[in-house]
A and B are shown apart, each in its own frame.
Chain A
Amino acid sequence: DAGVTQSPTHLIKTRGQQVTLRCSPISGHKSVSWYQQVLGQGPQFIFQYYEKEERGRGNFPDRFSARQFPNYSSELNVNALLLGDSALYLCASSFGLPNTEAFFGQGTRLTVV
């Protein structure tokens, strides 16, 4: 049974560029959340989507946006990349709300140069 899948696994972008990260949740899960994990730190919440609606947003600038599709997969977009956006971006899926028993993908390692 497939877990949470994220693509790509690694990505190198230049400052000012835009990036799109993708996530497919566990089959049957309707909630997807995005987290940013800077090296040596715990994950920080970016967004939560449930049933294609945004249910929460963390303390991140408007350069960050996301959406969820009818099949519950999700994309995270980051515009005007900064060096500080370099991090591991994690997607977590859960069956629904409340948002307990969240399962994480292996993440996308984004490097901004």
Chain B
Amino acid sequence: QQQVKQSPQSLIVQKGGISIINCAYENTAFDYFPWYQQFPGKGPALLIAIRPDVSEKKEGRFTISFNKSAKQFSLHIMDSQPGDSATYFCAATKATGNQFYFGTGTSLTVIP
């Protein structure tokens, strides 16, 4: 059973546009939600993370929006650049737990 559902599977955005990736979860015990960026042949790199006590977190061009009541969170990439082309994974975990539950990934392509 997929604990974290991610959409879309793939996304094509023009340079300078906004990329939006969505995730949904079921387990209300989850209390830490990171996003990872993965380039081909590399391991996932921690991009930004949020805890459910805030509704939004921004770091540079990357913003997480969090809706606790809907059990959804999303990644917004502002002013998307070709260098942002990668696969993005959302994840969730319980702080007292021992594993991350990952979404299925979104392949982002930013067209120059």
Contacts and interface: CB of A to CB of B under 8 A. Distances in A.
Interface of A: 4, 6, 33, 35, 40-45, 48, 55-56, 58, 90, 92, 97-107, 109
Interface in B58-112: 89, 91, 93-105
Contact of B99 (A45, A104, A105): A45
Given A41-B105, A42-B104, A99-B93, A107 B43 contact: yes
Contacts of A106: 41-43
Task: Please tell me the size bucket of the interface on B.
Answer: 20 to 34
Given A44-B102, A98-B94, 10 more contacts: A40-B105, A41-B105, A42-B103, A45-B99, A48-B98, A56-B99, A97-B98, A98-B96, A99-B93, A101-B46
Interface of B: 4, 6, 32, 34, 36, 41-46, 49, 89, 91, 93-105
B104 A104 contact: no
B82 to A, nearest CB: 22
Contacts of A4: 43
Given A41-B104, A41-B105, A42-B102, A104 B44 contact: yes
